[in-house]
Chain A
Amino acid sequence: MADVTAISPAELAGPSGRRPRRAISRRNVFIYGTLLLVSVYYLLPLYLMIVTSLKGLPEIRMGNVFAPPVEITFEPWVKAWAQACTGLNCDGLSRGFWNSVRITVPSVILSILIASINGYALANWRFRGANVFFTILIFGAFIPYQVMLYPIVIMLRELGLYGGLWGLVIVHTIFGMPILTLLFRNYFTSLPEELFKAARVDGAGFWAIYLKIMLPMSLPIFVVAIIIQVTGIWNDFLFGIVYTRPEYYPMTVQLNNIVNSVQGVKEYNVNMAATLLTGLVPLIVYFVSGKLFVRGIAAGAVKG
């Protein structure tokens, strides 16, 4: 114990140990108040959509948009999924959903596979002209899509891919390349270079280093890439409507056709349900991979 004879008893009786903090301070009220306000602002539209989608049409006509449904009905959801009409078809959003799945899955896999190899080659095997190649690739990210819209139509037509699913998959893969390659290149550059050198001394070649050394260390960046691509491609509207025929329209295009149809009564509840259904996939991706993302970072944390 320290010698305390030199300090007056009054001082000794003063503060000791952890400094107390009040739960309701001006600072806390301000912070939590702001957070609450902003949350309400963002969540209100979602609340409105969910509530409306669970109401019947007569109830909606009464007004009271903020009131919870008196009688909960799932009929609008069923209708949006299986019966809503777009053009000539009346089989709901389900067709668009499966189209979107068939577009998104191959596009995501293909673009991430190619971009990760690109990034790995650019980061570790500095081949002749690598910088020029990289510059051109990044430059591609700054060209507005609209400029390339029509030339791509012609290219796909000449290749015989215009209007089909695979044409759209190729377009998504190409347009994902600049940002994904940049992402992977930067990640692989951040991995210790000596690891790559050690693997070369150990006799591993281009593919062996990629598959056995780099891939197992890159889970976090793959999750990030998957989030970017799944949400980006799922939410795409422009490419979907330009490069596919109506029977291959992705979900977003179909949603637009349902919501914007001018004939008959405006079925607000069905529209709300359809919109929520379309947004469900990116939402689930965020929830599921958010957790994976954190775990991925923790697993990849190897400090020398």
Chain B
Amino acid sequence: MPSVVIRDVSLNFGVVEVLKSLNLEVGKGEFLVLLGPSGCGKSTLLNCIAGLLDVSAGQIFINGRNVTWDEPKDRGIGMVFQSYALYPQMTVEGNLSFGLKNAGVPKDEIAKRVARAAEILQIEPLLKRKPSALSGGQRQRVAIGRALVRDVDVFLFDEPLSNLDAKLRSELRVEIKRLHQKLGNTMIYVTHDQIEAMTLADRIAVMRGGIIQQLNTPQAIYSRPKNRFVAGFIGSPSMNFIEGQLAQHDGTWVFEAADLRVPLATYPFQETNLSPRAATLGVRPEHVGLNTGEGWPFEVETSVEVVEPMGSDTLVWTKVAGHDFSVRMATERAPSAGQRATVGFDPLRASLFDAETGERL
């Protein structure tokens, strides 16, 4: 049985449609990430699941129970917020036990659950402190603890790491993943950070304009993006795009742009009924070779414009068919600006999109 089911959920604020007849199923123990640019409706969807926003249409089921009209506390969810939202006048212990006191849980049971959560999150020495005496990472840990003590099946995270600095963020990211492996709860996690999404998720739902664009495993979304938006949104540095034409040449399909002709013999076409049309070719910088010497199915000579060393590797900017084209490569092999270089790639790992609809071909 799926843990959370969203059925045809719509949400309007006046005339603005934030969610458009959205359907989603989250399996038991699954870690689902809602990913998208700001304003795409991902946080709104999470608030609808939590019951903090009333849906305009549709139904929400949690553990097979229809909770569409239920209060947040009755839905069997715990929630972690971006700004931690700790009650400033209560101690850490008070923060953890507030929900349980409201639910009328017996005192010894509260103490037991608080102790367990504190142990899991290693915040035992902080229990008597006020939130103002905690660091950002500690505060977020307490906020996670507040969801933990509620002993619920579904955890909702609303950009929990966005307020932390880069180092703490990566630390807590690993910790959340560990927590998920240990507890096995269903987790729904909202973020605009694709690294978080890729590292944490069992499945990612990429959203835009209140619609789920693609729902799949991180690997599938990375290597076979369903449309041009997903392709451009996922991956850092982002994918190179070349505008051109899909055409037939000597019986095989080719992609033509300016004076280039990319043979598509190895490209895994999704559509069987192909016809010549305007198309966009997308290639990830890490799938491009520069001066490798090996024979790529497609190669072109160009000049190096800018070199950006990033420590672990280097991003080399060139021009292909008049478009900016970046290559990600080992720092020690990187050319310097102004040099001539040969770039090549295999269409097998590229993505081809219909220029009009943006859909993958």
Nearest chain B CB to A200 CB, angstrom units:
5
Residue B132 interfacial (CB < 8 Å): yes
Known: A213-B87, A216-B89, A217-B89. A198 touches B102 (CB 8 A): no
Residue A204 interfacial (CB < 8 Å): yes
Cα A267 to Cα B87 in complex, Å, equals: 59
Cα A302 to Cα B83 in complex, Å, equals: 12
User: Chain B residues with Cβ under 8 A from A216's Cβ?
Assistant: 89
Residue B73 interfacial (CB < 8 Å): yes
Cα A197 to Cα B71 in complex, Å, equals: 12
User: Are A208 and B83 touching (Cβ within 8 A)?
Assistant: no
CB within 8 Å of B: which A194-231 residues: 194-195, 197-204, 208, 212-213, 216-217
Nearest chain B CB to A212 CB, angstrom units:
8
Known: A198-B85, A198-B146, A302-B88. A204 touches B102 (CB 8 A): yes
User: Are A197 and B85 touching (Cβ within 8 A)?
Assistant: yes
User: Are A192 and B85 touching (Cβ within 8 A)?
Assistant: yes
Residue A304 interfacial (CB < 8 Å): yes
CB within 8 Å of B: which A271-304 residues: 302-304
Cross-interface CB contact of B81 among A194, A203, A217, cutoff 8 Å: A194
Nearest chain B CB to A222 CB, angstrom units:
14
CB within 8 Å of B: which A155-199 residues: 192, 194-195, 197-199
User: Chain B residues with Cβ under 8 A from A194's Cβ?
Assistant: 81-83, 85, 158
Residue B77 interfacial (CB < 8 Å): yes
User: Are A195 and B103 touching (Cβ within 8 A)?
Assistant: no
Cα A202 to Cα B50 in complex, Å, equals: 11
Interface 1/0 per residue, A223-244 and B, CB below 8 Å: 0000000000000000000000
Cα A208 to Cα B101 in complex, Å, equals: 11
Known: A208-B102, A217-B89. A304 touches B163 (CB 8 A): yes
User: Are B102 and A203 touching (Cβ within 8 A)?
Assistant: yes
User: Are B84 and A201 touching (Cβ within 8 A)?
Assistant: no
Residue B99 interfacial (CB < 8 Å): yes
Cα A302 to Cα B130 in complex, Å, equals: 10
Cα A192 to Cα B69 in complex, Å, equals: 25
Residue B309 interfacial (CB < 8 Å): no
Residue B282 interfacial (CB < 8 Å): no
Known: A204-B102, A208-B102, A304-B163. A198 touches B79 (CB 8 A): yes
Residue B131 interfacial (CB < 8 Å): yes
User: Are B84 and A202 touching (Cβ within 8 A)?
Assistant: no
Residue B218 interfacial (CB < 8 Å): no
Cα A200 to Cα B81 in complex, Å, equals: 13
CB within 8 Å of A: which B50-94 residues: 50-52, 71-73, 77-79, 81-89
| A197, A198, A200, A303 interface centre (most CB from chain B within 10 Å) | A198
| B71, B83, B87, B131 interface centre (most CB from chain A within 10 Å) | B87
Nearest chain A CB to B213 CB, angstrom units:
27
Residue B98 interfacial (CB < 8 Å): yes
User: Are B50 and A192 touching (Cβ within 8 A)?
Assistant: no
Nearest chain A CB to B95 CB, angstrom units:
9
Cross-interface CB contact of A202 among B52, B98, B132, B139, cutoff 8 Å: B98
User: Are A201 and B87 touching (Cβ within 8 A)?
Assistant: no
User: Chain A residues with Cβ under 8 A from B77's Cβ?
Assistant: 201
| A194, A302, A303 interface centre (most CB from chain B within 10 Å) | A194
User: Chain A residues with Cβ under 8 A from B50's Cβ?
Assistant: 197, 201
User: Chain B residues with Cβ under 8 A from A303's Cβ?
Assistant: 132
User: Are A202 and B99 touching (Cβ within 8 A)?
Assistant: yes
Nearest chain B CB to A126 CB, angstrom units:
11
User: Are A304 and B102 touching (Cβ within 8 A)?
Assistant: no
- The residue of chain A having its C-beta at the shortest distance from the C-beta of B81 within the complex is A194
- The residue of chain A having its C-beta at the shortest distance from the C-beta of B94 within the complex is A212
Cα A30 to Cα B89 in complex, Å, equals: 46
User: Are A203 and B73 touching (Cβ within 8 A)?
Assistant: yes
User: Chain A residues with Cβ under 8 A from B158's Cβ?
Assistant: 194
Cross-interface CB contact of B83 among A204, A213, A217, A304, cutoff 8 Å: A304
Nearest chain B CB to A194 CB, angstrom units:
4
Known: A302-B131, A302-B132. A202 touches B73 (CB 8 A): yes
List chain B positions with a Cβ less than 8 A from chain A. Answer: 47, 50-52, 71-73, 77-79, 81-89, 98-99, 102-103, 131-132, 139, 146, 150, 158, 163
9 pairs, A vs B, C-beta closer than 8 Å: A195-B87, A200-B72, A201-B52, A201-B77, A201-B99, A202-B99, A203-B71, A203-B72, A204-B98
List chain A positions with a Cβ less than 8 A from chain B. Answer: 192, 194-195, 197-204, 208, 212-213, 216-217, 302-304
